[in-house]
A = this chain, B = another copy of it.
């Protein structure tokens, strides 16, 4: 029987936390009839107003084809608007509607509160340290993927 300590295996720890974060916040969004993927899109859009579909896919970690259908559902709920770019007519720019902005405004305080609960007992230095290390790991994995693709990626 091979030896392997899950409790010190980073992917396990991250997956576990991610599952709990997702489960808990999904419940938080249920009464607003918003799903977690929708909130991810809204959070990305409220950070930067008009984004291309591919850009959004990268930020939200949602597959482009999945995202395309998700955006259609969000359009039906009048949360977002899609429009062809004037500069490059291949690309589609996505932005929040007024209703989308209003909904995001309702969710953001919950998201903040929720993060505070997840980090309760942490000093602000500890929170910052945790986040910085997650960013470093993300970077390491990105470099890894870039290597495999044969060469460095633009970013």
Contact = CB atoms under 8 A, between A and B. Distances in A.
Interface in A53-69: 59, 61
A16 B138 contact: yes
- The complex is assembled from copies of this chain, and their number is 2
Contact of A115 (B9, B22, B25, B122): B9
A46 interface: yes
Contacts of A15: 18, 21-22, 40, 61
Given A17-B141, A24-B145, 12 more contacts: A3-B108, A4-B46, A10-B115, A12-B43, A13-B131, A13-B135, A15-B21, A27-B148, A117-B144, A118-B141, A120-B140, A130-B137
Contacts of A104: 2, 4
